[in-house]
Amino acid sequence: MKRPTFIEGVAVALAMSAFGAAVFGALTMVFATSGVLRVLIAVIGFAYVIYLLARSRERVGRVTVVLAWLILSSLTWLLAPPLPLYIVVHVGMVWLVRSLYFHAGALSALADLGLHGLSVTAAIWAGIQSGSPFLSIWCFFLVQALFVAIPISWRRQIKDTPTRSDVEDRFERAHRVAEAALRKFSSIH
C-alpha cells in the first residue's frame, strides 16, 4: 500500500469536517455542547486512527492499537478531565499511532508532534474566529494532511543517498561483469 498523499488528506479533512459539523449541529440541539464536543473528538479521532491503520504498510499491532485507543479513550471519558486536556490526550494518541506506523526516526516523529501542535492551534484559531465546527475540524485535518511531507526518517535518507564513490564502484563492478560476459561469449564462438 502506498503512503497517503496530500490530496487524500484534503479529502479526509473534507469528510471529517462535514461529518463533524453535521453531528455537532444535530446533537447540540439535544445535549450540552461540551459533551457533544467530547463525543465528537473521540469518534473523529478513532475514525482517523482507523484510516491511518488502513493506509499503513505495517501489519503488526493493529488490534492492540485499536484496543489501546478504546481503553484510553474510555478512561479519559470516565475521568472527564478539562476539555483542553481531553483534546491533548486524543491528539497525543493520534500522534503516537502515526509515529509508530509512518515514521522510522525520532526526528520525523518530533516533526510530526510539531505538526500536531500546529493543527490544534489552527483548529482553535478557526473555532474562535468563525464559531464554525466545520472550519475548526477542516483546519485541524488540513494541517494534518501535511504529514506526508515529513520524511519517514532523515537518517535513512542520508544513508540511502549514494555517494559519488558508491556510484563509481557500482559502475566499475558492472563494467567488469560485462567484460567477463563478453570474453566468455567470444570464447564460445
For the chain, the structural domain boundaries read 6-151, 153-189
Q: What is the pLDDT along the chain (189 residues), one digit of tens a residue?
A: 577 888 988 899 999 999 999 999 898 888 888 888 899 999 999 999 999 888 888 888 889 889 999 999 999 989 999 999 999 999 999 999 988 888 888 888 888 899 999 999 999 999 899 988 999 999 999 999 988 888 876 654 444 556 666 667 777 888 788 888 778 777 776
Q: What is the predicted pLDDT for the residue at 158?
A: 47
User: What sign for the dihedral angle of Cα 101, 104, 108, 109?
Assistant: positive
Q: What is the predicted pLDDT for the residue at 156?
A: 44
Give me the numbers of helices (H) and strands (E) for the chain, helices first please: 8, 0
Rounded to 5, what percent of the chain is helix, strand, coil?
85, 0, 15
pTM: 0.74
Q: What is the CB neighbour count within 10 angstroms for residue 100?
A: 15
Specify whether the CB–CB gap between 152 and 108 falls below 8 A.
Answer: yes
Q: Give dist(CA 9, CA 144) in Å, integer.
A: 7
Beta-carbon contacts of 27 under 8 Å, excluding residues fewer than 6 positions away, are 36, 39, 40
Q: What is the predicted pLDDT for the residue at 128?
A: 92
Q: Give dist(CA 147, CA 116) in Å, integer.
A: 9
Q: What is the predicted pLDDT for the residue at 105?
A: 81
